[in-house]
Amino acid sequence: MSSSPLPGDASNDPAADRTGRFVRQPNGRVRPLSPHLQIWRWHVTMTASILFRVTIGAISVGAVIAIGWLAAVAFGPDAFATARTFATSPFGLFIGFGLTVVLFSFVLNGSRHLFNDTGNGLTLKSANLLSNIAVWGPIPLAVLFWVVLFATGRVSL
């Protein structure tokens, strides 16, 4: 980390800066603009990181759906039958498939995150491998899950 600017670099003084490297944050403070999407080359580790945040958002919605099902069970046979009719409709099955993708994504990406949190798997090779598993793994797993559901006759269209 070099602390002094290289020759030719823009000034680090916001008042003298004419390069637009400084931005006013929403809280009113003037800060240098961080290197961002167009400066860093896209990498699968970034996809995995962003997808984990998306997954956390999606699984929060999924939890609300799950609690809705829980409430349907608790409200008795009629409510349960209504929930079941919806769940086995084509749209319900589509939502169900999405929920399994999200669940597998949460488990795979969460495992990657926990493993990286212990300081492991951070070499270029293993970080790429773990990220690729976390990004792509949920899709074949969810497809397999639903193929078995249909094959064993538990679910049908």
Partner 1 sequence: MSGPAKFRNNVKISERHGAGEWTIERVALALLMPLGVWIASTGFTLSDAGYEGVLAWFASPLNAGLLIVTTVAFFTFVSLAWKVIIEDYIHAPVAKTLAIGGLNLVFLTLAAVSVFLIVRLALGSAPLPAGIGA
Binding positions for partner 1, rule: CB under 8 A? 25-27, 53, 56, 59-60, 63-64, 67, 70-71, 73-77, 79-81, 100, 103-104, 106-107, 110-111, 113-114, 117, 145, 148-149, 153-155
| CA distances (Å), origin 88, targets 58, 85, 114, 156 | 21, 5, 35, 8
Decide whether 4 or 78 has the Cβ nearer to partner 1: 78
Q: How far is the CB of 29 from partner 1 (least distance, A)?
A: 9
| CA distances (Å), origin 75, targets 71, 78, 81 | 6, 8, 11
Decide whether 9 or 23 has the Cβ nearer to partner 1: 23
Decide whether 101 or 135 has the Cβ nearer to partner 1: 101
Which segments of 2-155 are extended strands (E)?
22-24, 30-32
**Residue linked to tokens 């669940």:** 103
Distance CA 134, CA 131 (A): 5
Q: How far is the CB of 141 from partner 1 (least distance, A)?
A: 9
Contact 105, 51 (CB under 8 A): yes
Q: How far is the CB of 23 from partner 1 (least distance, A)?
A: 11
Decide whether 47 or 111 has the Cβ nearer to partner 1: 111
